[in-house]
């Protein structure tokens, strides 16, 4: 079985790769590991949706995988998803993609610019239509995500996006990963560990190390259960 693990940064996947047996550096940004009878390739894309979309599409066009797994941290809008919680993000979107009309946000649908060729690629909501059959994934809390270029940190913008979309978590890469997997027809899952509550920037309350450890443990369980 061939598995592609995607992360924006090395630290986000560090707890996972410590559990794997490294084989070699395949090429730029891609390393090969082994786990029992599984070949696990780890792709570090860099931060943000543009880098993630580009590097994921390049890799998925050059190699065939049985599963693609996005591994990363996220912020939580849901007070029930406390730092350290690992979630399975099953829907995601790009809340900034649209236009401003004074204080009002105008969506692509309202602008008449939505993707009319394939409803799967609606930036209003990307869904994982058929998550891999995996007992670990099935036990994780399912979450609705948003993918942003600028993480929220102002009370007014937080309140506005919550009122408009009711997200539970946010990242800077998730929707781009999902879009690439849908385009290439690869079974996929996006799992994220909550590192902080979305609020005014408060690094003292973040639980980054705890989130990375929880993420690595869960990702390893997903990989070995596949």
**pLDDT tens profile 162-218:** 999 999 999 999 999 999 999 999 999 999 999 999 999 888 889 999 999 999 999
Amino acid 7: pLDDT: 98
Q: Are 127 and 213 in contact (CB under 8 A)?
A: no
CATH fold group of domain 2-225:
Rossmann fold (3.40.50)
Using CA atoms in the order 151, 152, 153, 158, what is the torsion angle rounded to 10 degrees?
Answer: -170
Cβ neighbours, 10 Å, residue 17: 19
**For residue 125, what are the contacts with CB-CB under 8 A and spacing of at least 6?**
91, 92, 93
Comparing 153 with 118, the larger pLDDT belongs to: 153
Amino acid 117: pLDDT: 52
* pLDDT-based confidence at residue 42 (cuts at 50, 70, 90): very high
Burial label for 107, CB within 10 Å (0-12, 13-18, 19+), is middle
Amino acid 103: pLDDT: 84
Phi then psi for residue 107, to 5 deg, are -75, 165
Q: What is the DSSP string of 106-130?
A: EEHHHHT-S--S-GGG-TT-EE-SS
Largest CA distance in the chain: 56
What's the mean per-residue pLDDT of the chain? 92
Amino acid 121: pLDDT: 66
Domain spans of the chain?
2-225
Do the bridges between strand 38-44 and strand 169-171 make them parallel or antiparallel, or are there none, so unpaired?
Answer: unpaired
Q: What is the pLDDT of residues 134-145, one digit of tens each?
A: 999 999 999 999
Amino acid 226: pLDDT: 67
Q: What is the pLDDT of residues 101-134, one digit of tens each?
A: 888 888 888 888 777 656 666 667 899 988 999 9
Q: What is the pTM of this model?
A: 0.93
């Amino acid at each position: 079985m061939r598995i592609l693990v995607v992360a924006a940064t090395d630290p986000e996947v560090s707890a996972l790769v410590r559990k794997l047996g490294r084989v070699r550096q395949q090429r730029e940004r891609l390393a090969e590991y082994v786990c029992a009878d599984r070949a696990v390739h780890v792709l570090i894309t860099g931060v943000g949706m543009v880098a993630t979309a580009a590097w994921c599409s390049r890799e998925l066009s050059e190699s065939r995988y049985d599963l693609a797994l996005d591994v990363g941290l996220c912020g939580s809008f849901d007070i029930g998803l406390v730092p350290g919680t690992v979630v399975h993000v099953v829907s995601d979107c790009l809340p900034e993609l649209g236009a401003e009309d004074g204080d009002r946000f105008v969506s692509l649908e309202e602008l008449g610019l939505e993707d009319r060729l394939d409803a799967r690629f609606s930036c209003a909501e990307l869904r994982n239509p058929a998550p891999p059959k995996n007992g670990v994934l099935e036990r994780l809390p399912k979450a609705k995500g948003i993918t942003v270029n600028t993480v929220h940190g102002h009370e007014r913008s937080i309140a506005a996006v919550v009122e408009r979309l009711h997200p539970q978590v946010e990242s800077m890469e998730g929707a781009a990963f999902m879009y690439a997997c849908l385009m290439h027809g690869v079974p996929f899952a996006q799992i994220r560990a909550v590192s902080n509550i979305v609020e005014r920037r408060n690094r003292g309350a973040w639980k980054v190390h705890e989130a990375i450890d929880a993420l690595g443990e869960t990702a390893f369980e997903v990989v070995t259960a596949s």
